[in-house]
Amino acid sequence: MLAANANRCCVCKRRDVGLNLHHIDGDSSNTKDLNLAVLCVQDHDRHHRPLTNEPSVQHLELSAEEILRRKVSWEKFVGACQVPGSGIIATITMFGTEQLIHSAQVVYQWEDETIEHQQSFFLLNGGYDQWAEELLRETTSLGPNISIAMLEDPQPVEHCPCCGTGYSHVLKPALVSKLTDPRWKTRSVMSVYVNPENPSLAISLALERKQMYSATLHLCQGKYLHFECDYFDERVEIRSKPSVRTQVSRLVSKVISEWNPAYILIGTGNTEKPQIINALNLPKCWERRSR
């Protein structure tokens, strides 16, 4: 049971603390694995004596049903950390500016963006080297097959208007697959459909026939390139040079390089049965400009 929980409490996920084996249904003679939950001494006490908890305590309602839910989810997560390509990833975000990083957070997430556990680090509690050492120690203790990803730029702290807690950053399913699925390098396919009559194109990314990502790009008001994908929506003002078609080609090339699919298919013509072409040849309609 301890190994199945990575020697952590299934509620607060702390380790190197006193742990108890708790009988979820209250029957001490029922020692089946499904009825045993690994709880730290503090959470164990909170379950048995909830009315004595102080208002500042985090887990005020730790019912048997909630303990079972957390136990099942956590043990499944720890088990997945032992399996290659299971879609488990630790996402690290630094907060602050390039001049001063004041905190960091690691989010242990499932492929579908569900957060299983998260941990924060602050300058008040130690320096960057200490963060890195602790983060690596915590992550590797979960299993050998958990991937680590770090957001490139420091992020500002944003708070939920309802509860006031800070937002956590997670990766989208397509990004998790790209970073963790060994099939990505050999089975991912990106298709680019070029509209032959209007200045627009569509991008689709799939893995083993499963749609992972989609985007569209079109000429907007003759002044902007409007790019819309599953993750964001932005309009980029068209520069005077180089040509619009060159700017579009560079943007599409950037998308391709970021996803790095195993195969790229470019088509045009009939949307039901497009003609496959060898390169991204854009029609002249892209050069339309408003006066």
At 154-184, the pLDDT tens digits run 999 988 788 778 889 999 999 999 999 999 9
Question: How confident is the model at residue 53, as a pLDDT?
Answer: 47
Cα separations in angstroms, 216 against 35, 106, 157, 226, 261: 50, 32, 30, 8, 17
DSSP string for 19-30:
EEEEETTS-TT-
Domains of the chain with bracketed CATH: 3-80 (no CATH), 89-177 (3.30.420), 183-287 (no CATH)
pLDDT at position 165, please?
A: 83
- Which helix (H) or strand (E) covers residue 105, if one does? strand 101-109
Which residue do the tokens 């607060």 mark? Answer: 12
Distance, in Å, from the CA atom of 130 to the CA atom of 122, rounded to the nearest integer, reads 10
pTM, rounded to two decimals: 0.82
- Closest alpha carbon to 73 in 103, 117, 26, 135: 117
pLDDT for position 143: 87
Query: Is residue 116's pLDDT more than 60?
Result: yes
pLDDT of residue 54: 53
Cα 43 from chain centre? 29
